[in-house]
């Protein structure tokens, strides 16, 4: 089976998710065994799916769960043993001590409640952040799993021999999503920037942060190649050619 058909028809994604017929499954598997570049693109795609799938769960801290459970339990009634009413001095003393003890308990309970409320508020913020991240990740997953998406692997050159980034391009919807996690970290005053070459003119697609999992960039019509350079923080209006770290014809 031709490599071009496998990429354009999205057969790599369907092979990964088990959606292919047995005949197509065998053909794609044979192609992966025979084509090292195709196998590298599949490995990168599989790595992205696995990584994003593991980032969706959260376990709240044990002490927060324990405190929440304790606050829901019914407070145990405490029985007070009174001395005979005939001993006035004893009653007065017991009353004073009991009031002092109860006040201390109330203060302690109020402090614990405030602490619990603070922890609950922080947990709620974390849950809201995770829900937002989950929605964004789900949207990205739907986008890169589309049958019209073509995954491309950009390997580093001699300036960054271990660098790797994966681009997911949908020419029909004009969407470009990049996974830059395989790029080496840069100093704080530097960033990666991607460019499209259109008839010899390099057009800015956007900057890449290695702290992010998936980044949506500008789609450039009639692009002949994808290029990644190292630029000052904030990006540049023209590529620094001597800082080119990756290039791929498309």
For 127-145, how does the pLDDT look when each residue is reduced to its tens digit (9 = 90+)?
Answer: 666 565 555 565 666 667 7
Which CATH number goes with the domain that contains 218? 2.60.40
Domain range for residue 195? 148-250
Same domain for 131 and 176, yes or no, is: no
Closest residue by Cα to residue 172 from 148, 145, 201, 194: 148
Q: Give the span between the Cα atoms of 186 and 193, in whole angstroms.
A: 12
Same domain for 133 and 239, yes or no, is: no
CA atoms within 13 A on the CB side of 132: 6
Same domain for 129 and 168, yes or no, is: no
100 lies in some domain: no
Q: Give the span between the Cα atoms of 50 and 55, in whole angstroms.
A: 9
pTM of the model: 0.47
Same domain for 133 and 213, yes or no, is: no
Domain closes at, from 114, 145, 176: 145
pLDDT by residue for the chain (250 residues), tens digit each?
Answer: 678 888 888 888 888 888 888 888 888 898 889 888 888 888 888 887 777 655 554 454 565 456 556 655 644 444 444 445 456 666 666 766 677 677 677 777 778 777 777 787 887 777 666 565 555 565 666 667 788 899 999 999 999 999 999 999 999 999 999 999 999 999 999 999 999 999 999 999 999 999 888 999 999 999 999 999 999 999 999 999 999 999 999 8
What is the SS3 assignment for 169-221?
Answer: EECCCCEEEEECCCCCCCCCCEEEEEEEEECCEEEEEEEECCCCCCEEECCCC
85 lies in some domain: no
Q: Give the span between the Cα atoms of 232 and 157, in whole angstroms.
A: 20
Same domain for 239 and 170, yes or no, is: yes
Same domain for 200 and 233, yes or no, is: yes
43 lies in some domain: yes
101 lies in some domain: no
Same domain for 140 and 210, yes or no, is: no
- Beta strand 164-170 pairing with 149-155: antiparallel
Same domain for 200 and 228, yes or no, is: yes
Which DSSP helix (H) or strand (E) runs through 47? helix 36-53
């Amino acid at each position: 089976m031709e490599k071009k058909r496998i990429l354009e028809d999205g057969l790599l994604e369907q092979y990964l998710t088990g959606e292919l017929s047995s005949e197509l499954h065998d053909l794609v598997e044979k192609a992966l065994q025979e084509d090292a570049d195709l196998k590298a693109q599949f490995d990168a795609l599989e790595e992205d799916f696995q990584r994003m799938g593991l980032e969706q769960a959260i376990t709240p801290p044990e002490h927060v769960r324990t405190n929440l459970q304790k606050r829901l339990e019914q407070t145990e009634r405490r029985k007070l043993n009174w001395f005979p009413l005939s001993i006035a001095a004893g009653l007065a003393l017991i009353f004073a001590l009991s009031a002092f003890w109860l006040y201390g308990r109330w203060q302690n309970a109020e402090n614990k409640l405030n602490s619990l409320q603070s922890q609950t508020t922080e947990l709620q913020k974390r849950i809201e952040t995770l829900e937002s991240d989950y929605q964004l990740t789900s949207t990205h997953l739907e986008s890169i799993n589309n049958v019209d998406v073509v995954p491309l692997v950009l390997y580093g050159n001699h300036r960054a021999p271990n660098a790797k980034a994966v681009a997911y391009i949908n020419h029909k919807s004009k969407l470009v999503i990049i996974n830059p996690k395989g790029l080496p970290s840069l100093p704080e005053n530097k960033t990666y920037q991607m460019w499209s070459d259109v008839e010899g003119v390099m057009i800015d697609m956007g900057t890449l942060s290695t702290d992010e999992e998936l980044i949506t960039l500008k789609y450039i019509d009639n692009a002949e190649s994808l290029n990644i350079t190292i630029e000052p923080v904030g990006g540049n209006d023209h590529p620094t050619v001597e800082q080119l770290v990756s290039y791929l014809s498309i």
